[in-house]
Amino acid sequence: MPLLYIIVFKYVPMLGNIIAFKQYSITKGMFGSPWAGFTHFERFFNSHEFWRLLTNTLSISFYTLVASFPFPILLALGLNYVKNERFKKTVQMVTYAPYFISLVVVVGLLFQFLDPRTGIVNHILGWFGVDPINFMGEASMYQTLYVGSYVWQNVGFACIIYLAALAGIDPSLHEAAVMDGANKLQRVRHIDIPGIMPIAVILLILNTGQMMETGFEKILLMQNSLNLRTSEVIDTYVYKVGLVSQAMNFSYATAIGLFKAVIGFVLLIIVNQTAKKVGQESLW
Amino acid sequence: MQQHSTIRESGSDRAFTIVNYVILSIVLLIILYPLIYVVSASFSSSYAVLSGKVWLWPVEPSLDGYKAVFKNKNILTGFQNTLFYTIAGTLINVIMTILAAYPLSRRDFHGRNVFMLIFVFTMMFSGGLIPTYFVVKGLHMIDTVWAMLIPTALSVWNVIIMRTYFQTTIPHELLEASQMDGCNDFRFLRSIVLPLSGPILAVIALFYAVGHWNQYFNAMIYLKDPGLYPLQLILRDILVQNEVKIDMLGDVKTAAARQGLRELLKYSLIVVSSVPLLIVYPFVQKFFVKGVMIGSIKG
């Protein structure tokens, strides 16, 4: 049964990508529709949306990757040196919690806090004589808000794996270091960080592979007509062209989606090769 | 009083500890504050919320927001639907995952590597939005509960986690011994493997349940009948698209009061929709590290 599922819901859609090369019409079906070659791809590359979509997609993904990578590591390193068990447990409990809150609610929270009239952030700014800012309507703020809320939601959960890795470090290394007169900062630098390096690299590779995938649902939720300039990415565009717009164009949307998948795949290979060259772990 | 046998912390170490505690406390506050604020706001009066008087604890306590939430029919149906999708969906997920993970964990399973490759490949390359939509449409699942349950029936990532768990914790000798005693594969899976896999089953089930509880996108593209809408979709209309219909607020007269109750309703709704999961997760929390860690080990 699982195999059947995988074939029907994963491989059949892959095959379904052929409509990217066809002039799909509902009446003729997937196989009856005439071939269109690369016309859909060409149309996309030549459209005035192309560069904006590509840069938005890459910049949001890259920004998320860079910003979300160090925080869990720092949190884990910090927690590792906390002796008070109760404090440690509290911090962990609280930092995990946002992970279980749905994207809809997280975006809802953003809207509530940043609302120009009723939000608490603008209330506070008001005391300093700052006029209310319509954060969600500012295209220039969009990506920072997206990434910031992403880190807020995921830092605690992502830190679990580093904590586990830190717990796996041989305690005799620490004892020896203390004997040699190393202080805590030196121990972090020379024992802990090298100790979690392999896991960090693997996670970085995995995250890079997912770079083109993540966040689509949240990006869509946070989008409005005012911030579209910086918030429209390939995925949301595919969704709109393929499923929402008046004149649905399945073939065109599929072609764009396929283009994105190929970029993601190429990125994954590049990162993996780089990691191999540097002499670190790699996925294969 | 420092005892002689312990090494005294040096100055730099003490500084490190203090800085560490301060930073962690700030992190704690940043993450905790929005959560506390939401809960407090939901229990305050609408006037206090609108005028920004709520800081930490509820001001002029009231239950108006919750009354509005529980009076609303859409929200209640959404809640029921989500409950159903979460329970049924998680059940399907867990069964499918076991069925996939168990054979893949057996060393004597022919063609194991080929199947593994078939599974893992889908993690790196997927069919895309539109073709997947066509498959669901072709199976006539649009606008049925199946659209919420079947397309997400299995996560390859969780299969790998479970497979690795089976491989590392259940010794091969156990299988041999039970086969000697005339135990077949299904019996072995049911009476030996599963009882030994409690922690991983709990973690996997929680992961899936969280996914179902928070699912809105599939509902958005596959469902048209509002009677099938999960809670998240209704939340999206109210929280993100700000579509609070007047009749949701009952018999509120003035525009200002309506505006206030509208905000209050949102805070209460956030609490109501998030609390169930936040209650469950501390119970499963102790298994997390194990579960997440196993997933990271290369099989």
pLDDT confidence of residue B254: 62
Token pair 């065109």 is found at: A252
Residues A234 and A136: their CA atoms lie apart, in Å, by 20
pLDDT of A34 higher than 70: no
Give the list of residues 6+ apart from residue A123 with CB closer than 8 angstroms, or none: B52
Token pair in block for residue B50: 């609108």
Following DSSP, what letter does each residue of B121-184 receive, concatenated? HHHHS---HHHHHHHHHHTT-TTSTHHHHSTTS--HHHHHHHHHHHHHHS-HHHHHHHHHTT--
What was the pLDDT predicted at B298? 41
Comparing CA positions, the residue from A259, A22, A43 lying closest to residue B129 is A259
Residues written for chain A = 284
Q: Do B285 and A161 touch (CB under 8 A)?
A: no
Mark residue B7 as left, alpha or beta (left: phi above 0; alpha: psi -120 to 50; beta: remaining): beta
Give SS3 for A210.
helix
Q: Which of A217, A225, A204, A224 is nearest to A268 (CA)?
A: A204
Encoding tokens for residue B254? 């003035």
CB-based contact (8 Å) between A224 and chain B?
Answer: no
**Chain B touched by A66 (CB under 8 Å):** no
Confidence of residue A16 (pLDDT cuts 50, 70, 90): low
Residue A271 at interface with chain B, using a CB cutoff of 8 Å? no
Q: Are B230 and B216 in contact (CB under 8 A)?
A: yes
Cβ separation B126–A13 shorter than 8 A? yes
Window 148-177 of A: residues touching B by CB (8 A cutoff) are 152, 155-156, 160-161, 163-164
Question: Given CB atoms, is A270 within the 8 Å cutoff of chain B?
Answer: no
B165/A175 Cα distance (integer angstroms)? 32
The predicted pLDDT at position A25 comes to 60
For residue B125, which residues of chain A lie inside 8 Å, CB to CB? 14, 261, 265
Can you tell me the distance from the alpha carbon of B17 to that of A80, in angstroms, rounded to the nearest whole number? 11
Q: What is the ipTM of this complex?
A: 0.74
Segment A166-182 mean pLDDT: 76
Q: Which residue has the higher pLDDT, A199 or A278?
A: A199
Burial letters A141-176, b for 16+ CB under 10 A, else e: bbbebbbebbbbbbbbbbbbbbbbbbeeeeeeeeee
Q: Which residues from A are below 8 Å from B268, CB to CB?
A: none
Q: Which of B17, B124, B133 lies closest to A209 in CB terms?
A: B124
CA neighbor of A92 nearest in space, from A166, A157, A153: A157
Q: Cα–Cα distance between B194 and B211 in angstroms, integer?
A: 23
Mean local confidence (pLDDT), A14-43: 63
**A279 pLDDT tier (thresholds 50, 70, 90):** low
CA distance, residue A229 to nearest chain B CA (Å): 19
- Chain B residues in contact with A111 (beta carbon < 8 A): 239-240, 242
Q: Is the pLDDT of residue A174 over 70?
A: yes
Question: CA separation (Å) from B177 to A84, A248, B183, B193?
Answer: 46, 60, 9, 13
User: Which are the contacts of A63, defined by CB distance < 8 A and separation ≥ 6?
Assistant: A143, A147
Q: Using CA atoms, how far apart are residues A122 and A130, in angstroms rounded to an integer?
A: 8
Tens-place pLDDT, residues B125-142: 666 777 777 777 777 777
pLDDT, averaged across chain A: 74
Q: How far is A50 from chain B (nearest CA, A)?
A: 19
Mutate to test the interface with B, among A88, A99, A101, A201 (most CBs of B within 10 A): A101
Instruction: Give the C-alpha separation, A65 to A62, whole Å.
Output: 5
Separation CA A101–CA B277 (nearest Å):
8
Residues of chain A neighbouring B139 (CB-CB closer than 8 A)? 8
User: Which of B99, B129, B270 is opposite residue A1, by nearest beta carbon?
Assistant: B99
A257 in reach of chain B (CB within 8 A)? yes
Chain B residue at shortest CA distance from A215: B217
Q: Which of A3, A112, A184 sits opposite B13 (nearest CB)?
A: A184
Closest approach of chain B CAs to the CA of A134, in angstroms?
A: 15
Task: Say what the pTM is.
Answer: 0.76
A 10-39 near B (Cβ less than 8 A): 10-17, 19, 30
Of B28, B214, B235, the CB nearest to A94: B28
Q: Which ranges of chain B have pLDDT less than 70? A: 1-10, 46-56, 58-61, 65, 124-127, 242-259, 288-299
Give the phi and the psi of residue A209 in degrees, each rounded to 5: -60, -35
Q: How far is B15 from chain A (nearest CA, A)?
A: 10
